[in-house]
Amino acid sequence: MIKLAKPYIPTSALESIKDVLESGNLIQGKYVAGFETLVADYLDMPYVKMVSSGTAALHLALLALGIEKDDEVIVPAFTFPATANVVEIVGAKPVLVDINMSDYCINVELIEQKITSQTKAIIPVHEFGQMADIIPLMRIAKRHDLYVIEDAACALGAEYRNKKSGTYGDVGCFSLHPRKAITTGEGGIVVTHDKKLAHKIELLRNHGAEKQDGHLDFHLPGLNYRMTDFQAALGIPQLEELEQIIDVRKNQALHYDSMFKDTGWIDAPATNSERKHVYQTYHVIVKDKNRDDIITTLREQGIETNLGAQALHCLTYFANKYNFKPHDFPNSRIAYTQGLALPLGKHLKKKEIEEVCMKLKDLL
Ligand SMILES: *Cc1c(COP(=O)(O)O)cnc(C)c1O
């Protein structure tokens, strides 16, 4: 089977994991602290907090910023549902905006018409590893005094004008799920420039607990969103190799691009000279064919593919609650119904990338 994705586990990680397990200190210890320092250096950010998932990271961002009942938060209509689920969970309303077909990210030109007196924040998603059009988006946020939470769950290492994803907004959130370029099994990262916000996130991820003068007290109703130390031990050597991991993905993506060039039946992902795409997913749009049939047939031929992300307005919960119609966000619907994620990553050889391409061409 040519797998869609496969976690890359450096052998050096196994030694450190053993070290953690034998030490008896399993949770949020020196490896978590070391991982946080490494990420802080990598992103050039002052405050980095490891948490238990990308979803936990987004939830903490909303809680720390005080987003609550009756607030509105602008999100792209096409994303992994976690982006909007956390908005629902804090009692706020996700306000959907359609995406561009060029980058599968929020169409920044459609944001301002959705801003009301209730709007508190925008959550741009850097979909599939390419950053949303973040500079004009930050300008809009500033003009309307809105927070920006970057959902960079699948975009660690991505850049816009040589500045990394997650470092533009008030809070940046990353995921370390096995489908992302580096993984700790489950895991997430929250980053911010703001000391107070960082402190609040620190408390919220650990029951609201804080030790002062050797005395443990509880200052907030918090959660348990901590990362274990063996997860951090797994993540550290991957982070050290992240640039090479990205290079492999990028070269594979370029190879796909060259093979799909000038074919009428597939739209390859667009690139943008101002943005560094890290290709968490190589996502194409298949035209004039049933995408689900393609996934099934390719699977029978030993190739694993999948849809890329969901159109929120087409999902039962959001459609029922907000009475959305399928055509409300047309680009998001196309990406949801015609989008196809192809195998990518260090586990694949060039020949296998070519095989995927040939078999897909045969089908179309
Ligand atoms: C993966 C992902 C998430 C969720 O991350 P988890 O670590 O699985 O909780 C959220 N948003 C986007 C855009 C994602 O791709």
Residues 256 and 184 in one domain: no
Q: What count of other Cβ atoms lies within 10 Å of the Cβ of residue 202?
A: 18
- Indicate whether 77 belongs to any domain: yes
- Indicate whether 161 belongs to any domain: yes
Q: How far is CA 110 from CA 95, 136, 327, 358, in A?
A: 12, 12, 16, 38
- Indicate whether 115 belongs to any domain: yes
Confidence band, pLDDT 50/70/90 cuts, at residue 265:
confident
- Reduced to 3 states (helix: H, G, I; strand: E, B; else coil), residue 17 is helix
Final residue in a domain of this structure, among 205, 240, 275? 240
> Closest Cα partner for 125 from 142, 101, 150, 107?
150
Question: Residue 343 has what pLDDT?
Answer: 98
Average pLDDT rounded to a whole number, residues 115-126: 98
Q: Which residue CA neighbors atom 5 of ligand 1 most closely?
A: 54
Task: Kindly give, in sequence order, each residue whose CB lies less than 8 Å from that of residue 265, ignoring residues fewer than 6 positions away.
Answer: 286, 287, 288, 289, 364
Task: Kindly give, in sequence order, each residue whose CB lies less than 8 Å from that of residue 255, ignoring residues fewer than 6 positions away.
Answer: 350, 353, 354
Residue 163, domain extent: 12-240
- Indicate whether 330 belongs to any domain: yes
Lowest mean pLDDT among 64-73, 83-92, 282-291, 293-302: 282-291
Question: Residue 261 has what pLDDT?
Answer: 86
- Reduced to 3 states (helix: H, G, I; strand: E, B; else coil), residue 5 is coil
3-state helix, strand, coil in the chain (%, to 5): 40, 20, 40
Using a 6 Å cutoff on CB, does residue 151 contact ligand 1? yes
Residues 51 and 200 in one domain: yes
CATH code of 114's domain: 3.40.640.10
Average pLDDT rounded to a whole number, residues 271-297: 95
Cβ burial of 53 (10 Å; 0-12, 13-18, 19+) is: buried
- Indicate whether 1 belongs to any domain: no
Residue 55 Cα, ligand 1 centroid: separation in angstroms? Answer: 6
Residues 185 and 265 in one domain: no
Residues 156 and 282 in one domain: no
Please state the domain count of the chain.
Answer: 2
Is the confidence at residue 262, as pLDDT, over 80? Answer: no
> Closest Cα partner for 51 from 64, 41, 42?
64
Question: Residue 139 has what pLDDT?
Answer: 98
Residues 298 and 220 in one domain: no
Report pTM.
0.98
Residues 121 and 225 in one domain: yes
Residues 205 and 110 in one domain: yes
Is the confidence at residue 48, as pLDDT, over 80? Answer: yes
Is the confidence at residue 336, as pLDDT, over 80? Answer: yes
User: What single string gives the DSSP state of each residue in 154-165?
Assistant: T-TT-EETTEET
Residues 209 and 259 in one domain: no
Q: Which residue CA neighbors atom 2 of ligand 1 most closely?
A: 153
Using a 6 Å cutoff on CB, does residue 153 contact ligand 1? yes
Is the confidence at residue 53, as pLDDT, over 90? Answer: yes
Final residue in a domain of this structure, among 240, 271, 305? 240
Question: Which of 78, 79, 106, 177 should be mutated for ligand 1, with most atoms under 8 A from CB?
Answer: 177
Question: Residue 288 has what pLDDT?
Answer: 86
- Crossing angle of the two packed helices 54-64 and 195-204, in degrees rounded to 10: 120
User: Is the separation of the CB atoms in 272 and 358 below 8 Å?
Assistant: no
- Indicate whether 203 belongs to any domain: yes
Residue 72 CA to residue 116 CA, distance in Å, equals: 8
> Closest Cα partner for 114 from 80, 137, 91?
137
- Indicate whether 3 belongs to any domain: no
Using a 6 Å cutoff on CB, does residue 83 contact ligand 1? yes
- Indicate whether 116 belongs to any domain: yes
Residues 223 and 248 in one domain: no
Residues 66 and 214 in one domain: yes
Residues 317 and 255 in one domain: yes
Final residue in a domain of this structure, among 240, 264, 288? 240
Using a 6 Å cutoff on CB, does residue 54 contact ligand 1? yes
Task: State which H helix or E strand residue 274 sits in.
Answer: none
Residues 213 and 316 in one domain: no
CATH code of 353's domain: 3.90.1150.10
Cβ burial of 300 (10 Å; 0-12, 13-18, 19+) is: exposed
Residue 341: phi and psi, rounded to 5, are -95, 130
Residue 111 Cα, ligand 1 centroid: separation in angstroms? Answer: 22
